[in-house]
Amino acid sequence: MAHFLIVEARFYSHLNDMLIEGAKGALEAAGHSAELITVPGALEVPGAIAMAAESGRYDGFVAIGVVIRGETYHFEIVAGESARAIMALTMDGIAIGNGILTTENEEQAIVRADPAQKNKGGEAAMAAVRLLELRDQFD
Ligand SMILES: Nc1c(NC[C@H](O)[C@H](O)[C@H](O)CO)[nH]c(=O)[nH]c1=O
Ligand SMILES: CC(=O)[C@@H](O)COP(=O)(O)O
């Protein structure tokens, strides 16, 4: 059994609740345990993962959040920079599944957050599980 940390950017609570349900359900079904921490937004997720990885207490991580386009360029920054920083951590060998949705509107986010629909939270959790399996295989 592996132990995962779910790091949620709690910007849209009702959407996060669905993503977290999917992630927890996937990890539990795969026989793993999970903790949850909350940060304000997607830009804080990579830093929180980096800090938690330093502790050595977690085998893998699932990033959860929702970034919905507004009126300004900020969407590109939040969506792009959180994804880029998470990818950089993954390239350092940290098993992370990225379940941060980046959508044009709430309707798109609901479909992707809902475990009964596209279940992107569960998908991100299983991606982290797979990366951990590969790291163990290559060690
Ligand atoms: N607009 C969204 C944000 N913005 C907040 C940033 O992520 C960050 O917390 C702030 O800039 C302070 O550093 N975050 C989301 O997760 N989703 C959004 O739609
Ligand atoms: C993704 C965002 O930062 C967005 O929610 C902020 O909206 P706006 O660009 O209208 O300030």
User: So what's the ipTM on this one?
Assistant: 0.96
For the chain, give the mean pLDDT: 98
Write down the pLDDT at residue 8. Answer: 98
> Which residues are tagged catalytic?
74
For residue 67, the ligand 2 atom closest to its alpha carbon is 1
| Alpha carbon of 83 to ligand 1 centroid (Å) | 13
State the DSSP string of the chain: --EEEEEEE-SSHHHHHHHHHHHHHHHHHTT-EEEEEEESSGGGHHHHHHHHHHHT--SEEEEEEEEE--SSTHHHHHHHHHHHHHHHHHHTT--EEEEEEEESSHHHHHHHH-TTTT-HHHHHHHHHHHHHHHHHHH-
pLDDT band at 49 (very low <50, low <70, confident <90, very high): very high
Share of the chain above pLDDT 90, in %: 99
